[in-house]
Amino acid sequence: MNTDLITTALSKYGLTEAPGVQDNPVILQMAKDAGFPDYNHDSIAWCSLFANWVAWKSGYQRSMKLNARSWLTIGQPVSNPELGDVVILWREQKAGELGHVGFFINQDTKGSIFLLAGNQADQVEIAPFPKERLLGFRRLAKPTVNQ
């Protein structure tokens, strides 16, 4: 289990986008820390930014990209996720480019997967998603060299 990823993600629980045209300086600083110096508006989808920041802060592999589906090639695929594994979901259409990424918390018998992620209702929170939207589970490792 990658519980340190969850601990790091929970340290930002409740962090929200700034309303209107303003930007939350904490999210912008997270972008810079995670290697996205050109990211300048929290209205731009930031679930992958958040996942990259959490992985960077915790010393794990990261996608180094702002698109959620980029996480499909990071870490090892797993079929039985554990707390802290990465969850990649499709958004709008399964074969499309859009997605959502977060960290696995749990799943229930009714077909929901619970993710701790950024940019869920414009904030860091835990929320359920239908398992039908699943593209994959990935288990991150600590790299042998710092990314």
- pTM for the model stands at 0.94
Residue 145 located in a structural domain: no
* Per-residue model confidence as pLDDT tens digits over 26-85: 999 999 999 999 999 999 999 999 999 999 999 999 999 999 999 999 999 999 999 999
Domain encompassing residue 64: 3-139
- Local confidence band at 6 (pLDDT 50, 70, 90 cut-offs): very high
Q: Output the pLDDT for position 13.
A: 98
Residue 58, in any domain of the structure: yes
User: Count of domains in the chain?
Assistant: 1
Mean pLDDT score across all residues of the chain: 95
CATH classification of the domain holding 46: 3.90.1720.10
Number of residues written out for the chain:
147
DSSP 2-58: -HHHHHHHHTTTT-BPPSTT---HHHHHHHHHTT-TT---TTS--HHHHHHHHHHHH
Give the confidence band of 20 by pLDDT, cuts at 50, 70, 90.
confident
Task: Answer yes or no: is 15 within a domain.
Answer: yes
Does residue 146 lie in a domain region?
Answer: no
Which tens digit of pLDDT belongs to each residue from 105-120? 999 999 999 999 999 9
Q: Is 44 within the bounds of a domain?
A: yes
